[in-house]
Amino acid sequence: MQEPGTAHPQEKIAVLDFGGQYAHLIASRIRRLGAYTEIEFPDEFDASRASRYHGIVLSGGPESVYEPGAPSIDPEVLQVGVPVLGICYGHHLMMHSLGGKVSASGSREYGAAKIRWNGDPDSRGLFGGLRDDAVVWMSHGDEVEALPEGFEVLGSTPDCRFAALGDTSRNLFSIQFHPEVSHTEIGDDLLSRFIQVCGLKDSWKLQDFLRAEQDRIKADTTGRKVFFLVSGGVDSTVAYTLLAESMPSDHLRGLLVDTGFLRKDESAQVLEAIEKLGLQLMVHDASREFFEALKGEFEPEKKRKIIGDLFLKVQAQYAKELGLASEEWILGQGTIYPDTIESGSTKSSHTIKTHHNRVEAIARMIEEGRIIEPLAELYKDEVRQLGRLLGLPEHLVDRHPFPGPGLAVRCLCTPAKPEDHPGYEERSVDMQTILESSGSIQELLDAAQIQAHLLPVLSVGVQGDKRTYAHPAALFLSSNENLDTRYDSLLELATMIPNRVEKANRVVLSAKTVSTYRLKAGQDLNPERIEALQLADSIVKDFLEETGLYRKIWQFPVVLLPVYRTADELQRECIVLRPVHSRDAMTASPYMMPAEQLQDLFNRLLNTDRFGDVFLDLTSKPPGTIEWE
């Protein structure tokens, strides 16, 4: 694994990766707060290795500590004498390893909670001075039941008594929530305090990464040339620029493959932007090949792998035609770390989704040393900062993220015979029929005069660090009057439903009144459906620029959903709007624009007469991924 820089090799914090989505996010966040971090794996980490560090963080993970074969830790690591912070799975593991008890909780908890601290702030060690009632982010299905000797409860939430624990005499602390995600309001403060406890305040900066990465690029490309795949997004633009500034210009070539899944007129716009940076770019239209290869496919993972494999095949063929197929050429990508985490590329991680730049062929090339990925250790916000350090203009640095497979992962597909594939339903289901065990949800629905149906389509989610395929729950209002005043109830339902209804991992709000919906069978990726999605996406993009919302929203996926309202004779598909807040793509919360603007956007889309309904996605990540596939 490449390590970005060695500014303070003896002054560092170890982050043990137990396979959660958050191990590298923890490391990244701590770096940004001013301390150097390294990722370690528990099966290679003993007391001798632990003693090389000023502090240790035990990350989250998808397993249960009490299950056979679950990742563990050498108990002597906790006796080395350096500060240790356990997070989520790490919280459970610390308790389990030292004699406490951990078990499955009565209900899953994903999303926001408010923490209350116990006792005198001066006696809480790491947690001293952190404010009460701050929002913290939960994602767990297990909980601590009993504490080891020496530990006390230092903080609790309404649903989690043992939310923050500590043995202050040994500088051992553990928390159920995730301080590394942006939605935990006291996250940076807590991690900064941990850095101070470790004695490492202000010992690492991103400029150190840039210098070290430029040196690494020069070393890795000596005697070699790079054929770089450009998408025009922030990641590939920054990576391409970094390579261009770190190696001879005649050793670098860029290619944009138009798969047919780009936004409207995007290939021309990307070409113009890259050329304005003084870089060369070739554009190849391969849309016909991609549509043909994806005919009849509906499973998200298969779609991604077909796109990734064909992308490489097209690239290789094009390189051969240009005479770039010799061994001196290697492939360059703008991969960032969330791509590798969600693809299950760390030792214990579960696959959330396979990214196009982590398909099997790419993995083989990485093993063979034929891939260079200068941003593979960074997260989106760090990539933006790096772009600014490289002098890129703000309009390129601040572009909304766009997935490598493009609109292909925002155009949901369905099997020709849904009845042969578990999970797909013929029609939507009134949630009243399945809420007997979740009376509080039905009470809130009744009080707010909201109706709810499970839609008959599946989307990807992430719950407890594992991938889920489950149904979106659609909410319906009797009218959209005073919608702003109902946002709190809607968001509360968006948290409660995925936590308590096993079949749901998302919650959306319909632009229309209540209806039943039917699944539109046999929908694949074809030019007609992509053209419809490009239209909707273009309408949203124009709206964001006109209203000034573009800079306020981190990302705004627009999704084509293969369901239609039962009464719609034209069987028009529906659109999902997914505006989110995020800092790093690892977690996200829905962006709630003023109701007047939301209604305007609903109307613009519905007035095209191309779509049967428009939904607003109200789901946080977790439990719903930012993209729907």
Q: Active-site residue numbers?
A: 88, 178, 180
Nearest CA to 370 out of 421, 424, 440, 319 is that of: 319
Conformation bin of residue 535: beta by default, left when phi > 0, alpha when psi is -120 to 50: alpha
User: How would you class 37 by CB atoms within 10 Å of its CB: exposed for 0-12, middle for 13-18, buried for 19 or more?
Assistant: buried
CA distance 363 to 301: 16
CA distance 108 to 95: 20
User: How would you class 309 by CB atoms within 10 Å of its CB: exposed for 0-12, middle for 13-18, buried for 19 or more?
Assistant: middle
Rg of the chain over Cα atoms, rounded to whole angstroms, equals 25
CA distance 210 to 390: 9
Give the pair of three-digit tokens for residue 408.
């292909």
CA distance 572 to 186: 45
Report helix angle 527-547 to 595-606, nearest 10: 150
Give the pair of three-digit tokens for residue 45.
């980490």
State the residue for tokens 């939960």: 138
Backbone dihedral angles phi then psi of residue 623, each to the nearest 5 degrees: -95, -15
CA distance 313 to 291: 15
State the residue for tokens 């959330």: 352
CA distance 237 to 143: 43
CA distance 204 to 212: 12
In sequence order, the 6+-apart residues with CB closer than 8 A to the CB of 216 are 2, 4, 374
* DSSP, residue by residue, 350-363: PPS---GGGSHHHH
State the residue for tokens 């990540």: 621
State the residue for tokens 């010799």: 326
Report the C-alpha dihedral over residues 499, 182, 353, 15, rounded to 10 degrees.
-110
